[in-house]
């Protein structure tokens, strides 16, 4: 713990350790059964009490207080009941945004320019424009639309009017008005559960079964061997193999590929990493074929990996064309810089609200707090501290803590267990034995997604809990 603890400033009454009062969670189970009468509650782990949750701890209705390193599926940036964000929520500007929610496209408020500028203070380098959405999946779908509009406008001329044939055929969902185009994504990727985003998602079948799908190509994302420093040549060949697959798909796919969608780190699919060389290779291929590069930073963005936006670590030349965001930003949308990514005519990228100014205000406040307290650098310090402790545990429990990954990526850390059954038991035991709420990814992996105010004192509790659980196996 640092002398000038940010978590202590925000949360002077944060608990010193987890509290486990009930391992059966009987009240939670009862409330889930009652909830199920009006809401599909089958995926609920437990019922939380958010009035009693504080800082890095989440409370449940059974009186348990768990150290939360999953943070609402990676989406809580500054801890529960953060005092600075509560003040933002009480502001007159927020009240107006909630009570009189404007249809931003037609009736933007006189504060919208200021709200956008606050968000852009923490935008990725070189990105000076933003379009707002409602969720991570929505952000990606909006980015697809922008990509297809751009791609077609490049062919016909940016300001050229649509032909009569295009106008007629689009009303029947036929070409040329509804052109045959594709977005290339990757196996093991997760980009959302809507229709187009579902077509680019490829992590678990349950995410997309029974949904009609676009017939879009899937390339292979690198599968590295760990530790990285001992497998440099092997992993370099893996990059080359996967880039060749991308190039071949561009050359052979049945319809033009207008854009490539990729996560800087595949998160839901297993925390799969790739090198700067791989991503620059992707950038080069998109430039060669006249396609756009879309970076999905929904889970990796807003300081999660020890840099504000994970792709910035690759120093891509030129930078990505679009960067989608959500999760820890508490808002959603995409950043971009090319004016021609703005659709060539009004009412193309449009809906009633065009995003949510209340969430945009909150995003600006989150960015302000991150810069004010230098929380990205703190996440790096804490991550390095935690990773070192996990490396030591890996040597002690090599069967249960395999392929540790996320070194130098702050607390964006994951590892694999020996199989899915053990992983699921581990997640449950971490709650009931260790007092820690923790998440999984892929079939057999565990991922850490704590807040940006997670500190060394919390890391110590986490590591002690992991050892306590593993020592019982």
The string of DSSP codes covering 121-133 is TTSPTT--EEEEE
Query: Active site includes 352?
Result: yes
Query: Active site includes 327?
Result: yes
Single out the residue of 136, 90, 130, 133 nearest to residue 114, CA to CA: 130
Which residue of the set 60, 68, 239, 296 is catalytic?
296
Is residue 378 packed enough to be buried (19+ CB in 10 Å), middle (13-18) or exposed (0-12)? buried
Which residue of the set 155, 352, 372, 396 is catalytic?
352
Residues 84, 87, 89, 93, CA torsion sign? negative
> 59 has which bridge partners?
65
d(CA 263, CA 286): 15
Q: From the DSSP assignment, how many helices (H) and strands (E) are in the chain? A: 15, 14
The region that residue 371 occupies, defined by phi over 0 for left and psi between -120 and 50 for alpha, beta otherwise, is alpha
Query: Active site includes 163?
Result: no
> 261 has which bridge partners?
294
d(CA 164, CA 363): 43
The string of DSSP codes covering 52-76 is T-BBTEEEBTTS-EEEESSHHHHT-
Single out the residue of 263, 291, 292 nearest to residue 279, CA to CA: 263
d(CA 303, CA 301): 6
- Compute φ and ψ for 375, nearest 5 degrees: -75, -25
In contact, 229 and 407? CB cutoff 8 Å: no
In contact, 320 and 311? CB cutoff 8 Å: yes
In contact, 80 and 13? CB cutoff 8 Å: no
Query: Active site includes 296?
Result: yes
Which residue of the set 144, 190, 335, 426 is catalytic?
190
Task: Output the CA–CA distances (angstroms, integers) from residue 176 to 159, 167, 323, 358, 426, in the order listed.
Answer: 17, 9, 28, 39, 53
* Alpha helical stretches, state H, 274-320: 276-289
Please identify every residue annotated as catalytic. 190, 296, 327, 352
């Amino acid at each position: 713990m640092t002398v000038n603890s940010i978590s202590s400033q925000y949360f002077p009454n944060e608990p010193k350790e987890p509290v486990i009062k009930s391992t059966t969670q009987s009240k939670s189970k009862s409330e889930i059964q009652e909830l199920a009468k009006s809401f599909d509650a089958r995926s609920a782990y437990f019922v939380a009490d958010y009035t009693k949750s504080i800082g890095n701890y989440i409370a449940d209705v059974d009186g348990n207080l768990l150290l939360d390193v999953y943070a609402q599926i990676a989406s809580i940036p500054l801890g529960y009941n953060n005092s600075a964000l509560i003040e933002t929520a009480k502001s007159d500007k927020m009240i107006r945004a909630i009570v009189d929610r404007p249809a931003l496209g037609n009736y933007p408020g006189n504060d919208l320019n200021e709200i956008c500028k606050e968000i852009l203070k923490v935008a990725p380098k070189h990105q000076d424009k933003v379009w707002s959405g409602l969720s991570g999946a929505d952000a990606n779908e909006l980015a697809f639309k922008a990509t297809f509009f751009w791609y077609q406008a490049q062919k016909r001329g940016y300001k050229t009017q649509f032909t009569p044939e295009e106008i007629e055929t689009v009303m029947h969902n036929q070409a040329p008005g509804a052109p045959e185009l594709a977005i290339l994504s990757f196996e093991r990727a997760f980009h959302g559960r809507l229709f187009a985003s579902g077509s680019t998602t490829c992590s678990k079948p349950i995410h997309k079964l029974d949904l009609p799908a676009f017939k879009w190509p899937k390339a292979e994302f690198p599968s590295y061997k760990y530790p990285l420093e001992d497998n440099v040549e092997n992993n370099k060949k893996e990059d080359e193999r996967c880039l060749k697959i991308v190039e071949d798909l561009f050359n052979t796919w049945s319809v033009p590929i207008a854009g490539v969608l990729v996560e800087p780190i595949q998160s839901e699919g297993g925390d799969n990493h790739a090198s700067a060389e791989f991503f620059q290779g992707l950038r080069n291929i998109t430039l060669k074929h006249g396609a756009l590069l879309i970076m999905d930073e929904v889970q990796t963005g807003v300081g999660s990996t020890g840099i504000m936006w994970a792709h910035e670590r690759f120093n891509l030349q030129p930078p990505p064309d679009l960067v989608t965001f959500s999760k820890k930003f508490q808002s959603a949308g995409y950043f971009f810089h090319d004016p021609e990514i703005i659709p060539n005519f009004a009412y193309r990228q449009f809906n009633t609200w065009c995003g949510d100014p209340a969430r945009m205000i909150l995003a600006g406040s989150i960015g302000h707090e991150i810069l004010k307290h230098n929380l990205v650098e703190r996440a790096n310090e804490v991550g390095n501290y935690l990773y070192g402790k996990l490396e030591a545990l890996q040597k002690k429990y090599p069967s249960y803590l395999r392929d540790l990954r996320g070194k130098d990526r702050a607390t964006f850390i994951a590892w694999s267990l020996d199989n899915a059954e053990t992983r699921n038991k581990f997640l449950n035991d971490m709650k009931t034995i260790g007092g820690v709420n923790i998440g999984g990814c892929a079939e057999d992996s565990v991922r850490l997604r704590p807040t940006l105010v997670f500190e060394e004192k919390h890391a110590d509790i986490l590591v002690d809990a992991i050892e306590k659980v593993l020592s019982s196996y």
